Amino acid sequence: MEPKGIHKISRIPLNEHVYRTLVELIVNGSFAAGTELKEQHLAKQMNVSATPVREALKRLASEGLVEIIPYRGAVVRTLNQREITEAYACREALEHLAIAEAIEHMEQKDIQNLYQFIELYRNAGDSSEIFSASQQFDDYIYQMTQNRTLCELLAVLKGTISRDKKYSSANIERRCAIYEEHKAIVEAMEARDITRAQDAVSRHIRNGQRFIEGK
């Protein structure tokens, strides 16, 4: 029985369409943890060649949604409790530093841009657009730090962080909470209140961790 949600793809860019389709099927539970994602089978179902499917699976692997296992291929990853706990602890510490350095370097236009990212997130359509808007918000703050090493360290956590964002984007209640959490962060930044901004970051990250642990 084929999971609901697979549609034939006829428009370009194929890579992005295939990627978005697979993300939707993973985050909505159609492809449960442990499901083997057969390249040729998926390509046939989507009416595309194997190449965009292969590229989408590699992208999903880099983001922590699937794992490439020798002799089995791509498999939807099972969430690892220890990995989640460690990654979120590191993320919170690093983002406390990031928010402090971002406030130190920010200009008024940065606050305006962050508010725009928040609205982009609220008005986004499908899960991939929601995830993209949330990622842009985070990336913008990271770049505001002007700290390349810090940005690289945060990138190491990309898999777990991305997995959180993708699952959250499929849940309406969590999505609304994230909007308010992002807003609280920017309001504290606008007031140049580092302690309040760091507290808002902690609430956002810990709520995300509780949500992903419940998956």
Domain ranges of the chain: 14-76, 81-213
pLDDT of 17 strictly over 90: no
Residue type, 81: Q
Report, as an integer, the average pLDDT of 1-17.
59
Please determine, looking at this structure, whether the domain spanning 81-213 carries the CATH number 1.20.120.530.
Answer: yes
pLDDT tens per residue, range 119-155: 999 998 877 788 888 889 999 999 999 999 999 898 8
pLDDT of 179 strictly over 60: yes
**C-beta separation of 206 from 158 below 8 A:** no
What lies within 8 Å, CB to CB, of 85 at 6+ separation is 209
CATH of domain 14-76: 1.10.10.10
pTM exceeds cut of 0.85: no
Report, as an integer, the average pLDDT of 3-26.
70
Confidence of residue 28 (pLDDT cuts 50, 70, 90): low
Report, as an integer, the average pLDDT of 84-103.
94
